[in-house]
Amino acid sequence: MFGMEEDSLKALNRIYAKIIERYREYIEEKEQKTVYELKAMIVPDDSSIEEITSRLKKCESIKDFLSELIEFSKNIKIIYSPVQFWLTFQDIVEIGACEPFQKAIFLCAVVLNFTEKAYVVKIQEDIYTVFEHMGSCITLDVKSDSFKEIDSLDEFLKKSQFYFNNSVFIENELNELE
């Protein structure tokens, strides 16, 4: 990176850490998102997801679709940033990493190219991308890159604290304290 030696790179990383530490509150204040901004982040026709979308369009069965989606999802590593900072889809693809919530938003945008029923779902500390496609209801755990077929999308959504996609945001008040 930058033609620097390892010691110089370590020093540069420490400088970046100091900058982040010093401006953390300012960055996080500017990076806060409203419900409407979260919904607006789910952009199914974003050019950064064209490659995976074209691969998924070739899938003829739900098994193939899920296999391709999981393989793609595994290429996006989960990280926990020291400061709340939202990455664009292009950033996520370039870096190959993001926080779980951002990964769920990204995958929801991908899946919305194939179904109208796809959501980012929060249940306690877990984040899922949940969708119906090819006659199946699927939960995708973004942290473990695993999926599970479920009986009912609506029943799963009722368990959530909230769920949303690019057109709705539903908060389940009864589940907030669980």
Residue 106: predicted pLDDT: 96
User: What integer pLDDT is reported at residue 1 of this predicted model?
Assistant: 53
Residue 135 in any domain: the answer is yes
Q: What pLDDT does 150 receive?
A: 94
Expressed as residue numbers, the domain containing 78 is 33-175
Asked whether residue 12 is domain-assigned, the answer is no
8 within a domain of the structure (yes/no): no
CATH of the domain at 61: 3.10.620.30
Does residue 167 fall inside a structural domain?
Answer: yes
pLDDT at 166: 92
Residue 7 lies in a domain: no
Q: Say if 9 falls within a structural domain.
A: no
Q: What is the pLDDT of residue 83?
A: 86
Residue 163 makes CB contacts below 8 A (sequence gap 6+) with 119, 120, 121, 122, 130, 157, 169, 170
| Domain tally, the chain | 1
Does a structural domain hold residue 2? no
Position 161 in a domain: yes
Question: For each of the chain's 178 residues, which pLDDT tens digit applies?
Answer: 556 788 888 898 899 889 988 988 888 888 888 888 989 999 999 999 998 999 999 999 999 999 999 999 999 999 998 888 899 999 999 999 999 999 999 999 999 999 999 999 999 889 999 999 989 999 999 999 999 999 999 999 999 999 999 999 998 865 443 3
Per-residue model confidence (pLDDT) at position 176: 42
Q: What is the pLDDT of residue 175?
A: 44
> In this predicted structure, what is the pLDDT of residue 177?
35
Beta bridge partners of 123: 126
Q: Measuring CA to CA, how many Å separate 57 from each of 18, 30, 81, 113? A: 45, 37, 33, 9
